[in-house]
Structure 1
Amino acid sequence: MSLEGQTLLPGESSGSSGITTDDEESGGCGATACCNPRSTCHRFIAGLLMCFLGFGSYFCYDNPAALQDNFMKDLNITTTEFMFFYSIYSWPNVILCFVGGFLIDSVFGVRNGSNIYMLIVMIGQIIFASAGFYDMYWLMILGRLIFGIGAESLAVAQNNYAVVWFRGKELNMVFGIQLSFARIGSTVNFWIMEPIYTYVNQFYFGPECIGVVLFIAGLTCVFSLICSLILGCMDKRAARILHRDENNTEVVRLTDIVDFKPSFWIITIIVVAYYVAIFPFIALGKGFFMSKFNLTAHEANNVNSIVYSISAIASPVLGLLIDKTGRNIIWVILSILFTIAAHAILTFTDLYPYIGMVMMGLAYSLCASGLWPLVALVIPEYQLGTAYGICQSIENLGLAVVSIITGIIVDAGGYYWVEMFFMGALTLALFSTILVWIIDSRAYGVMNMTPYERDIHDCNRQAAEILEREKLLSSSRSQIGPNDLLQPTNSEFHIRNRYLSRIGASLPSHYNVNQKYLAYRALR
């Protein structure tokens, strides 16, 4: 048999080259850093593709916001009807985003899930553009709904990719870079959609102009779909070389969510309370800046894009800062305080809006880089798709409700009262973060540790698990009787359950201390 056809065990050498996999060769691409999944260069390429994976969906998400006045004029709709483009995006994902995350964990896998969800995003944008061209408001709503189903589940897959490739290796920075590229998509949208509309308006008018512009925007979704396909091939190869799939013996069940820690659920409240003060504000921002500061449509779009522009630059830097310093909860608290201050400046002062928006952009970048990695600190890796799906689902529930509420508030009372609403939501986020800090500090305080302290904590935990496993193995061997020889050997699963039971940890309802294999049961 040739060398390429042999299957080597993890860590087994493949000759003098020191290469340890069945897929890599001593020469050619397999021996270069670009093609070796263990190398920083290869992971960087994968990370870049992860970033472009969400570029198209973020670019198209804010197409309506960049053309708010044009949408309302050409389609003859009210502010409430305009905000329904954002509300309908979020409503189905109250349920489907969680389902999408669960399907990634248990059915599709992250590779197939990414491709499927990106395809759904592209189909939704095509329907949205076609309906705009023919001035069919109800069909635009349907297209936006389909777009949202794919986009939010795609974000879950993107988070899963990041954790699989970078957990323990600059994860905060990678989340920051992903956010950066997503916001580059949103920023470019605000920069170019108005000029594109102006150019297209020379040849098409009214709804037809809106439709053509949205078709042009949809080309970014095609680009992201190509990146998804390439990344899927890379991840499949890396999983085979690094033997990732051989270590994934856990089975995800819907009933596992009842065992998620209280701190996780409070984190979801923080996510909702913070993001409802960012995204609905940006959706209404063009009208707000034109109304209060008497800016032109182009100037208002430039100011409105500052949050995304700042985050595109600052997110990787702030993510790296959090990677080096840790203390995630402290950074999240500071970001919320700065966001409250930014809204207060925009509401109660006549200072040029760039000041408040720059503050908001920096605070938003800091919060996103510090907040989302907290989920990976409290949830096991094999459940992360489900966990991130729940976060996205609850976030979408908040955004769906708040998008409607803010549209009604603006139509009834103006922008002052909607800003008061946003500051109230941020206050809730602040108190929730403090509550998470208190709960975490009463346990091990992992979420607010420095990287060095987390390393020590992980080493101590692993050492305790190994010691307990050895004790259980010794006691099991000493108690072997004639009848035991007919029983299956104690598995790692059985040993772990006995260990968890001995230390007083709560086991999921479908676990049994004396069970020697994984129990499969139908979903309900």
Structure 2
Amino acid sequence: MEKMTSWHDTNLRWFILVLIGVYPLVQFLIGEYPALLGEQIKSYFEVSQAEINYLLSFRSFPNMIMSLIGGLIIDTFGVRRSYVFFGSIVIIGQLLCFMSVILNSFIVMVIGRFIFGLFESSGFVAESYYINKWFKGKENSLAFGIDTGICRLGSIAAAIIYPYLYTTSNNDLSQCLLMCLYIAILSFIIIVILTQIDRCSDLRDKTSDQKLDSIDLRQIKQFSLEFYVTLISCVTCYAVFFIFGYNSVEMFKHIYKLDQKTANTLFSIPYYLSAILSPIVGHYIDKKGKNIEILLIASFCQLLTTTIFYLMPECDTSCVAFPMIGSILNGLFFGTYYAVMWPHIPLIVPSHMVGTGFGLTFACINIEITSFSFIVASMLQIENYQNYQQMNQLMLFLSLVGFIPLVYLFQYHRTQYHKNIHAQTDDNLSTNQIELIVKSKPT
């Protein structure tokens, strides 16, 4: 239920948006440490890049179904209680990751990442619900864009904090994981504050905690063809971005002979650009629309990115130019795609099934990330140019799979637009003819 204008104060809503943005910010801040500390983790536990990919796979694996189950939990207990529960599970998972270093057990870290990811996407479903609850109509895309900008700060901060903390703590990996634990606890406190403000708002407006109409599997068949075509693009483009990002730092070091600091900088470029672009693109979408056109341009940027990295030869000396161009294009993709895709989903599903749409989308994203992470892990058992090229070839193919559905949707919308124009023209002609007939009748 939309909130009363008297309580739905502008300043309060934007403060709420900042609180909402803390959850994804923390997920990216904590979630990126295996990519940024891959070399240190491999050295400490004596594992390979393939095992580093397992840290991504086991984080995403539970969300193949838990996004749907998380939606059922929200539906049963309400979004506020569920959100607090999801945040507490993140703390338990990160505690195990910290303990893995103390116990010198990589298996414990894998288990911790599994628990960390258990309800991670369910938290994103709750977050998306809150944005839709507090921001309506013309502000929706801008709110998602600002939320994207906030959460991108997590990846940016991670690229700066972890290498610095590792170096200043005399190469103590446990200090980095302890920092992640502190951040998870802070996130939990912010979630509690957010839910309490939302509860007070509902009490003032004399409404209850609206239970999200999510995850009735029998209703999924009611979704339109446009939703499923969009879903193919969304999950594939996201899988490419995160799998590539997870392996990019080590690839930059091995293939382009870059040092750790430069590789981390290139890794963070897409997140810097996303933090800047997402609010701008979101505001543009609110004003002008053209969702499909913007998504098509964004996906094309990703296609160019994967093409560049696939065609790039191995460098004998340090090579920055082409990886930087690829990282910039990747940032243009992510900063644009995220700000448009998530507010687009409520437009193409029934209004009472928005939660189901979000839940199914997050579940499918994690299915694809998990599946292809295992494939990439098998490719990178040995880190050399040929194996990284196999990975880049797979990323290029998947980015093409993500691009083609948007071409179809672009043509579909153009056809529908012209049909509507012709229908309006025919209606106007029929109206004019009726008016002429009426006027020509003798009185």
Q: What band does the TM-score fall into relative to the shorter chain?
A: 0.7 to 0.9
Q: Tell me which of 196, 201, 217 is aligned to 1:233.
A: 196
Task: Give the 3-state SS of the residue equivalent to 1:188 in structure 2.
Answer: helix
Q: 230-239 or 81-90: which moved more?
A: 230-239
Residue 424 of structure 1 corresponds to: 397
Structure of greater Rg: 1
Letter matched to residue 200 of structure 1: S
The 1:242/1:198 distance shift into structure 2, 3 A limit, reads same
Letter matched to residue 333 of structure 1: L
Q: Tell me which of 210, 217, 228 is aligned to 1:254.
A: 217
Residue 364 of structure 1 corresponds to: 334
What are the residue-to-residue correspondences of 1:68-467 with 2, within 5 Å?
A: 68-104=38-74, 106-201=75-170, 209-243=172-206, 245=208, 253-349=216-312, 351-411=321-381, 413-439=386-412
Shift of 1:134: 0.9
The 1:246/1:343 distance shift into structure 2, 3 A limit, reads closer
The 1:443/1:358 distance shift into structure 2, 3 A limit, reads same
Task: Give the 3-state SS of the residue equivalent to 1:411 in structure 2.
Answer: coil
The 1:269/1:296 distance shift into structure 2, 3 A limit, reads same
Kept in 2: contact 1:263–1:440 (CA 8 A): no
Letter matched to residue 326 of structure 2: G
The 1:216/1:377 distance shift into structure 2, 3 A limit, reads same
Task: Give the 3-state SS of the residue equivalent to 1:201 in structure 2.
Answer: coil
Q: CA–CA distance in 1 between the matches of 2:62 and 2:234?
A: 18
Q: CA–CA distance in 2 between the matches of 1:276 and 1:119?
A: 26
The 1:166/1:290 distance shift into structure 2, 3 A limit, reads same
Q: CA–CA distance in 1 between the matches of 2:223 and 2:284?
A: 29
What are the residue-to-residue correspondences of 1:482-497 with 2, within 5 Å?
A: none
Q: CA–CA distance in 1 between the matches of 2:121 and 2:211?
A: 25
Q: CA–CA distance in 1 between the matches of 2:239 and 2:190?
A: 30
Letter matched to residue 249 of structure 2: K
Q: CA–CA distance in 1 between the matches of 2:206 and 2:347?
A: 23
Kept in 2: contact 1:55–1:220 (CA 8 A): no
Q: 435-444 or 50-59: which moved more?
A: 435-444
Kept in 2: contact 1:121–1:148 (CA 8 A): yes
The 1:113/1:382 distance shift into structure 2, 3 A limit, reads farther
The 1:249/1:322 distance shift into structure 2, 3 A limit, reads closer
Kept in 2: contact 1:175–1:373 (CA 8 A): yes
CA deviations on 1:209-265 (whole Å, 9 max, x unpaired) are: 323320112211112111111111121222333455499897973322221222222
Q: CA–CA distance in 2 between the matches of 1:380 and 1:171?
A: 17
Q: 109-118 or 58-67: which moved more?
A: 109-118
CA deviations on 1:387-432 (whole Å, 9 max, x unpaired) are: 2111111100000011111122233642122112111111111111
Q: CA–CA distance in 2 between the matches of 1:382 and 1:103?
A: 17
In structure 2, the gaps of 5 or more residues are: 313-318, 422-443
Kept in 2: contact 1:322–1:328 (CA 8 A): yes
Q: CA–CA distance in 1 between the matches of 2:78 and 2:221?
A: 22
Q: CA–CA distance in 2 between the matches of 1:312 and 1:396?
A: 23
Q: CA–CA distance in 2 between the matches of 1:277 and 1:250?
A: 30
Q: 233-242 or 86-95: which moved more?
A: 233-242
Shift of 1:373: 1.4
- How many residues are matched? 410
Q: CA–CA distance in 2 between the matches of 1:303 and 1:275?
A: 19
Identity of aligned residues (%): 25
The 1:236/1:381 distance shift into structure 2, 3 A limit, reads farther
Shift of 1:366: 0.5
Kept in 1: contact 2:95–2:181 (CA 8 A): yes
Kept in 1: contact 2:380–2:388 (CA 8 A): yes
Q: CA–CA distance in 2 between the matches of 1:381 and 1:201?
A: 54
In structure 1, the gaps of 5 or more residues are: 1-9, 12-19, 22-35, 203-208, 454-524
Kept in 1: contact 2:67–2:363 (CA 8 A): yes
Q: 247-256 or 406-415: which moved more?
A: 247-256
Residue 37 of structure 2 corresponds to: 67
Kept in 1: contact 2:63–2:117 (CA 8 A): yes
Letter matched to residue 433 of structure 1: L
What are the residue-to-residue correspondences of 1:42-53 with 2, within 5 Å?
A: 42-53=12-23
Q: CA–CA distance in 2 between the matches of 1:250 and 1:392?
A: 16
Shift of 1:271: 1.5
Residue 471 of structure 1 corresponds to: none
TM-score normalised over the length of structure 1: 0.73
The 1:247/1:51 distance shift into structure 2, 3 A limit, reads closer
Letter matched to residue 262 of structure 2: E
Q: CA–CA distance in 2 between the matches of 1:283 and 1:443?
A: 40
Kept in 1: contact 2:25–2:151 (CA 8 A): yes
Kept in 2: contact 1:54–1:224 (CA 8 A): no
Shift of 1:352: 4.0
Kept in 1: contact 2:30–2:158 (CA 8 A): yes
CA RMSD of aligned residues (A): 2.6
Q: CA–CA distance in 1 between the matches of 2:214 and 2:110?
A: 37
Letter matched to residue 336 of structure 1: S
Kept in 1: contact 2:79–2:209 (CA 8 A): no
TM-score normalised over the length of structure 2: 0.86
Residue 475 of structure 1 corresponds to: none
Task: Give the 3-state SS of the residue equivalent to 2:201 in structure 1.
Answer: helix
